[in-house]
Amino acid sequence: MPKEAFMRGFIRSLLLAACVWSAGVGVAQAVELQWWSHWAIEDSKKAVLFEAKRRFEQKNPGNTVTITFYEKKNMWPALRAAFTAGSGFPDVFYYDMDVPEFMTAGWLADLSNGVRWENIEPFGKAFWTRPGAAGKTGIWAIPVEAASDEIYYNKKLFKQLGITVPAGFAFTQDQFRDVVGKCARAGYAAFATGASDREWAAHYIPNALLLDTLGADDFRRLAQGEISWKDPRVVDVFRYYKELIDLGAYAKTLSSMTLAEAHRYFHTEQKACMFPVGSWYTGRAFVPPDKGGQPKDFELGMLNNPVVKDGKGHGQKFLGVAGSLG
């Protein structure tokens, strides 16, 4: 999708969220909408929010939007405290599945009505159609982002270590093990992963291996409890994954490094060969280096998931709803 078209769609989603919360307010009654975002250090995304704010205020004279930026790890406790107290919470805020309990607690408005869902991708609407308080099904957020799980790599470092990427950009299991070993023996982490503020950041590689092994249908069945975690295929994946860990796949700072630090660890400090992360990597990386962005001369590459022998999911990747607005 062209960048301009993406940005237009992104801004439309943000404007739609603001309009939903201002609907029903009389023309003569000016309102100030409070909007909380976790994009505190992502300047490119902040620019989009401020453009949405400008357009909304231009279209609705007298009404204003005040945006407060948080780091995500600090925003969830603040929201939880405000909702519990019954005051001090925003009208609109960034939302994702880090805190699913917000839906069942009754802290989110049901957006089934008042939103032109025909303008939203059907999978986005379906994703947020879930049971809420007292089991009542509703639509609890407006999707703003969708992201795929990716494995980025440092081209320069691969060349330095003599690692040749296959024509299809996917290593076999044995090749991938060798890549991890080469990186570790040379003093690099194979994966730039920091899980201190995002525990799911450590899930990318095992998820990629499970998907390639099981395929999408069986992976879904595994997640839903229809396939046992003791299934021999699943056990084999985790045995292989432990081999990677034992080779030194992760930095010793895995549990103390943040997501933002992991970005810099990969592209600025260049202490890791690969970076498994969502395709929203660009939101943090494609900003000026002095703002924590990727250096201009950094050689970025992308890999497909490792190919597991006899796997059912070759060539498949996860794509799902990411940042949304509640």
Looking at residue 69, its amino acid is: F
Any idea of the CA torsion for 158, 159, 165, 167, to the nearest 10 degrees? Answer: 150
Where does the pLDDT of residue 13 fall: very low under 50, low under 70, confident under 90, or very high at 90 and above? low
Over residues 253-276, the pLDDT tens digits come to 999 999 889 999 999 999 999 999
CA–CA separation, 173 vs 62, rounded Å? 60
User: Which of 3.40.190.10, 3.40.140.10, 3.40.50.720, 2.60.120.560 would CATH assign to domain 148-319?
Assistant: 3.40.190.10
Domain ranges of the chain: 3-144, 148-319
For the stretch 133-138, contacts whose Cβ atoms lie closer than 8 Å and that sit 24 or more positions apart, written own/partner, are 133/103, 133/104, 133/105, 133/106, 134/106, 136/110, 138/103, 138/108, 138/110, 138/111, 138/112
CA–CA separation, 272 vs 251, rounded Å? 8
Where does the pLDDT of residue 221 fall: very low under 50, low under 70, confident under 90, or very high at 90 and above? very high
Does the structure show a pLDDT above 60 at 22? Answer: no
Mean local confidence (pLDDT), 281-287: 83
Q: Say whether pTM exceeds 0.75.
A: yes
Q: What is the pLDDT of residue 307?
A: 97
* Torsional class of 114: left (φ above 0), alpha (ψ -120 to 50), beta (otherwise): left
Asked whether 267 and 123 are in contact (CB, 8 A), the reply is: no
Are 3-144 and 148-319 equal in CATH topology?
A: yes
Residue 273 host element (H or E): strand 272-278
Q: What is the pLDDT of residue 24?
A: 45
User: Which of 3.40.718.10, 1.25.60.10, 3.40.190.10, 3.60.140.10 would CATH assign to domain 3-144?
Assistant: 3.40.190.10
Over residues 50-107, the pLDDT tens digits come to 999 999 999 999 999 999 999 888 999 999 999 999 999 999 999 998 899 999 999 9
C-alpha atoms less than 13 angstroms from C-alpha of 38 in its C-beta half-sphere: 21
Mean local confidence (pLDDT), 208-234: 96
